[in-house]
Amino acid sequence: MTPEQLPIEQYDAQLAEKVSRLQAMMVPFAAPDVEVFRSPVSHYRMRAEFRIWHDGDDLYHIIFDQQTKQRIRVDQFPAASELINTLMPKLINAIRDNHALRFKLFQIDYLSTMSNQIVISLLYHRKLEEEWTAAAEALRDELRAEGFDVQLIGRATKTKICLDRDYVDERLPVAGKEMIYRQVENSFTQPNAAMNIQMLEWALDVTKGSRGDLLELYCGNGNFSLALARNFRRVLATEIAKPSVASAQYNIAANQIDNVQIIRMAAEEFTQAMNGVRAFNRLEGIDLKSYQCETIFVDPPRSGLDEETVKMVQAYPRILYISCNPQTLCDNLSTLSATHDVARLALFDQFPYTHHMECGVLLTRKA
């Protein structure tokens, strides 16, 4: 398979293999049948990053084969959004004969949305001067004249030139309500927007009729916390990355949500605060004891939950766990299954045509 081809005819078989593999991994935990959520078979990635190869007078996007490290030219990339595919050749054609934009350009990053906004970041191995800014502004204006809602950013060592803004505002229809999510360039966002909608709607379904408050660790830009707020009295969420916290605060206001509180803390720090190990100035004015959290939501990095956080989440009657690595999920379930049962299990095909799986489990405390 080349980057310009997707084995669409193999999608069903590949998805079935993932379902079978996940079900087998969950046998030790007496999990129910897998609820399966399909991805679009093409144009599902909202983000894409390409190295740029200079070949005489020509230049083009490339990727490297993960096994062979072979360089592969990419003119179209059907895994990426249609907007990214439309702009890829336009960018190359505009940059090819423009020395200010081309000289020592080594990478282009794209961040697009279903709402047809896009941020394009140009990365360089040189200092960016006023000449670059003028050329970038001209390119931006040319693309906007063609009807593209585009932002351009230049990056070099210790340099970031943002012509207008460094974010896009995504709009997702989630269970009958439009949700607005600010997504900042170079920060984490869900790569597969169609799958994100399904994940949010599944999380809403499994928390339907919840009592009390929700505690969320690793909340990012508020992707889950804001959607789930309608099912809970209040939501208390933690996130360590400053840009994500800023986006979450914007998203709270943009969605007119008044029952979500974001704290800038690592999950490990919050565990220490909950256990009384340390006091944090960032918690000043927040009465943790006033929250009656019967549900905790976690969406950890690939490494899963650390040992102390696993112990902490066991204190909650219901645990909603989204995982991008089923192996570390199983490692955590080895502990969590002593106190909780797996009540729901879902597979979200976030990364079609790859080995990777995203899954969700709802755990309920044993009777």
- Residues 127 and 264 placed together within one structural domain of the fold: no
pLDDT at 218: 84
Say whether 218 counts as a known binding-site residue: yes
What's the confidence (pLDDT) of residue 3?
64
Structural domains counted in the chain? 2
- Same domain (yes/no): 30, 72: no
**Alpha carbon of residue 168 to chain centroid:** 14
Query: Are residues 34 and 89 both part of a single domain?
Result: no
Residue 180 lies in a domain: no
Catalytic residue among 219, 293, 324, 359, which?
Answer: 324
CATH number at residue 136: 2.40.50.1070
Output the pTM of the full model: 0.92
If asked whether residues 92 and 109 sit together in one domain, one would say yes
Beta strands in 159-259 (DSSP E): 159-162, 167-174, 177-184, 213-217, 235-239
Same domain membership, residue 69 and residue 13 = no
Question: In the prediction, which pLDDT does 271 show?
Answer: 73
Question: Both 103 and 81 in a single domain?
Answer: yes
Which parts of the chain register pLDDT below 70?
A: 1-3, 275
Q: Is 239 annotated as a binding residue?
A: yes
Catalytic status, residue 358: yes
Does residue 247 form part of some domain?
yes
In the annotation, is 324 catalytic? yes
Same-domain pairing of 303 and 342: yes
The reported pLDDT for the residue numbered 227 is 97
Q: Is 176 left (phi over 0), alpha (psi -120 to 50) or beta?
A: left
Beta bridge partners, 322, equal 360
Residue 182 placed within a domain: no
299 is in an annotated binding site: yes
pLDDT of the residue at 1:
47
Establish if 173 belongs to a structural domain: no
Q: Are residues 235 and 297 in the same domain?
A: yes
Q: What is the pLDDT of residue 308?
A: 85
Taking residue 130's Cβ as centre, other Cβ atoms within 10 Å add up to 8
My answer on whether 120 and 208 are in the same domain is: no
- What is the domain range of residue 222? 8-41+192-365
Whether residues 53 and 29 fall in one domain? no
For residue 61, report the phi and psi dihedrals to the nearest 5 degrees. Answer: -70, 145
